[in-house]
Amino acid sequence: MFSWYHVKGYRNRLVLICVILFAVMLAGCGNASEEELSPIVQIAAGEITGSGVVYKNNEENMIIVTAAHVLQSAKDSVEVIFEDGSVVESSSYVISNSSDVAFIRVEADKQYSSVSIDKEAFDTLTGDEKLIMQGSNSAGDVEQISGTLIYPWIFSEDFNQYMMLIRGEILPGMSGGAVFDEAGWFIGILCGTNEEVREVAAVPLSIIMAEYELVRE
């Protein structure tokens, strides 16, 4: 049978444990609110809605990369919709003349994740690798679809440029979204799908990097 001393000590310890747990919960909530959000965004440009990827992120602004055809009906500005529902309007964008790539510069008051890039991981792709394709569907939800790499680099007459070819399908609205390898490295952006043969075309990372060097200034 517990003496009063033992009961009191038990109750004190119980109160202390509760205080500690409460503090941990508060700390956890704080970390959750500060977590970086997904790099996959939705883009509304004129009559077209597509996807985009946070390519670069610094204290001043973010660079969103997307497929050029997503912005083909854009006028004075485009809207970028983030995972948390935040909408940022931007009139600062550039569309490549030689590739299905475009970049949008936006300012945001939150910290959003940018994709992780390892050029060597892209350069060592050979084919048959498992890939993940992510983009925003027509309802604004982020879709994640598995695919298998067919060619990391092949000329596409449909796009009149070199593309990455993937076995799989994507949904309407996912154009401009991201392609990742199994390790999570960003390796390209989605551009189109051929449903008859279940193949997806994507702009390879090397072209995206080269195009960005041309416009970064």
Arithmetic mean of pLDDT over the chain: 85
Higher-pLDDT residue of 153 and 139 is: 153
What integer pLDDT is reported at residue 139 of this predicted model? 87
| Average pLDDT value for residue range 180-203 | 96
First to last CA, the chain: 78
22-52 pLDDT, tens per residue? 443 444 444 434 456 789 999 999 999 999 9
**How far apart, in whole angstroms, are the C-alpha atoms of residue 156 and residue 66?**
18
Higher-pLDDT residue of 75 and 66 is: 66
Domains, the chain, ranges and CATH? Answer: 40-106 (2.40.10.10), 119-215 (2.40.10.10)
| Average pLDDT value for residue range 181-203 | 96
What integer pLDDT is reported at residue 111 of this predicted model? 75
Enter the pTM of the model. Answer: 0.83
Q: Is 133 in contact with 179 (CB distance < 8 Å)?
A: yes
CA dihedral 118, 121, 125, 130 (to 10 degrees): -90
| Average pLDDT value for residue range 186-199 | 95
93-146 pLDDT, tens per residue? 999 999 999 999 998 777 788 999 999 999 999 999 999 999 999 888 999 999
What integer pLDDT is reported at residue 176 of this predicted model? 98
Phi, psi of 65 (to 5 degrees): -105, 140
Confidence of residue 59 (pLDDT cuts 50, 70, 90): confident
pLDDT above 60 for 157: yes
What integer pLDDT is reported at residue 167 of this predicted model? 98
Higher-pLDDT residue of 37 and 72 is: 72
**How far apart, in whole angstroms, are the C-alpha atoms of residue 113 and residue 54?**
7
What integer pLDDT is reported at residue 36 of this predicted model? 62
| Average pLDDT value for residue range 141-163 | 96
The string of DSSP codes covering 26-92 is HHHHHHHHHSPBPSEEEEEETTEEEEEEEEEE-SS-EEEEE-GGGGTT--S-EEEE-TTS-EEEE--
